[in-house]
């Protein structure tokens, strides 16, 4: 398989984290590595991705630098290897009075993504993982379109200005943009729906961005794109069944949802279903009684499902206008969080 760069957020994408209340924030900070819970299927998927030794895994998180040791220990416990783990200098932001930067994500993540891409070069395909709790869909899509040459430098600098990025950082970003070689390398952006945001809200970003309800869906898409094998997909299914107690109904509905949305095409689904059948029928690990038959009932009907959503992948995104909408939403979320804390 070819080399792929996988970039992951941590909180709410890989780790179950509660940031909506002061109690949740404090608990996340105090938790030991052994106490932190992973999102079901995320460790299993990452372990399959890292079986291709050419792949590289990067984590970029809004968690503070002071949590590095505990987060690294958690990843080691889960059996995850990574190239880089980037955390946010929130203590520095606090001491310098950059209170806006404590929760702002676009001005934090975008420069890191661009600088790393410039440093590493653009020869490899990239797949990005985030969630719907913050601005991952926006910043990842903006990053992808900058690399593809679809967003002008002036637009990027205007957005960075909105984010209140320090002037020294603006100059650095401007220099990076001047040196970037445009190449459309981001093939997929997965947004894990931790908050259960309706998938239609992400349609404006085009077909490259795939909202997912679980990591079985991410594994299905990666299998359809031949980025993981059907054997790897089967191992992820078994992990979800035995570790997260996924039922045949949940697995079947998750698969059907992707076909209806046109994310996985019928020809791809037929190949995947046959591979799942063959691998599960070998019974390397005995499934719960009746599980295989119930799952096959759901999967056999997938070939007859019709695509119901057409997503335009060529329509350009107005990132300046969209930033204003994202900022209003973020401000509303912050106010809601503060209200809950004060109650």
DSSP 178-239: HHPPP---EEEEEEE-TT---GGGGGGG-TTEEEESSHHHHHHHHHHTTSS-HHHHHHHHHH
CA distance 252 to 297: 9
Rounded mean pLDDT of 82-89?
89
Lowest model confidence (mean pLDDT) among 20-29, 96-105, 264-273: 96-105
Rounded mean pLDDT of 238-243?
95
Identify the bridge partners of residue 178 per DSSP, sorted by sequence position: none
* pLDDT value at 100 more than 70: no
Q: Residue 27: what pLDDT?
A: 66
Backbone angles phi, psi at 245, to 5 degrees: 60, 40
- 52 vs 108 pLDDT, higher one: 52
* pLDDT value at 113 more than 70: yes
| 313 — pLDDT class (breaks 50, 70, 90) | low
| 104 — pLDDT class (breaks 50, 70, 90) | low
Percentage of the chain modeled with pLDDT above 70: 84
* pLDDT value at 23 more than 60: no
Cβ atoms < 10 Å from Cβ of 302? 19
Backbone angles phi, psi at 80, to 5 degrees: -100, 135
Cβ atoms < 10 Å from Cβ of 297? 12
CA distance 5 to 312: 25
- 125 vs 2 pLDDT, higher one: 125
* pLDDT value at 196 more than 70: yes
Work out the mean pLDDT of the chain and round it to a whole number.
Answer: 86
CA distance 160 to 158: 5
DSSP string, 57-99: EEEEEEEEGGGHHHHHHHHHHTT---SEEEEE-HHHHHHTT-G
CA distance 104 to 107: 7
Q: Residue 261: what pLDDT?
A: 94
Q: Which helix (H) or strand (E) holds 282?
A: none
Percentage of the chain modeled with pLDDT above 90: 62
* pLDDT value at 37 more than 90: yes
Rounded mean pLDDT of 293-303?
90
Q: Residue 324: what pLDDT?
A: 81
- 324 vs 191 pLDDT, higher one: 191
């Amino acid at each position: 398989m070819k080399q792929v760069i996988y970039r992951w957020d941590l909180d709410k994408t890989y780790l179950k984290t509660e940031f909506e209340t002061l109690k949740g924030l404090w608990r996340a900070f105090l938790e030991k590595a052994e106490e932190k819970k992973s999102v079901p299927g995320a460790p299993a998927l990452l372990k399959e991705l890292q079986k291709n030794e050419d792949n590289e895994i990067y984590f970029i998180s809004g968690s503070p630098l002071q949590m590095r040791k505990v987060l690294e220990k958690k990843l080691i416990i889960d059996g995850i290897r990574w190239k880089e783990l980037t955390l946010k200098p929130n203590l520095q932001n606090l001491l310098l009075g950059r209170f806006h930067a404590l929760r702002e994500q676009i001005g934090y993540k975008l420069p890191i993504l661009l600088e790393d891409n410039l440093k590493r070069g653009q020869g490899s395909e990239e797949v990005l993982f985030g969630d719907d709790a913050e601005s991952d869909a926006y910043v990842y899509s903006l990053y992808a379109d900058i690399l593809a040459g679809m967003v002008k430098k002036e637009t990027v600098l205007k957005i960075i200005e909105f984010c209140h990025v320090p002037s020294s950082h603006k100059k650095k970003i401007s220099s990076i943009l001047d040196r970037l070689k445009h190449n459309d390398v981001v093939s997929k952006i997965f947004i894990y729906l931790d908050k259960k945001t309706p998938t239609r809200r992400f349609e404006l970003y085009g077909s490259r961005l795939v909202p997912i309800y679980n990591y079985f869906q991410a594994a299905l898409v990666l299998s359809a794109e031949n980025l993981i094998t059907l054997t790897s997909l089967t191992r992820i299914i078994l992990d979800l069944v035995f570790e997260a107690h996924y039922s045949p109904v949940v697995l079947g509905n998750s698969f059907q949802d992707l076909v209806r949305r046109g994310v996985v095409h019928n020809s791809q689904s037929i190949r995947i279903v046959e591979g799942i059948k063959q691998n599960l029928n070998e019974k390397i690990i005995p499934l719960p009684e009746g599980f295989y038959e119930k799952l096959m009932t759901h999967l056999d009907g997938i070939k007859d499902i019709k695509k119901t959503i057409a997503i335009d992948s060529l329509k350009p995104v107005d990132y300046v206008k969209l930033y204003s909408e994202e900022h209003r939403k973020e401000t509303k979320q912050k106010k809601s969080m503060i209200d809950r804390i004060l109650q």
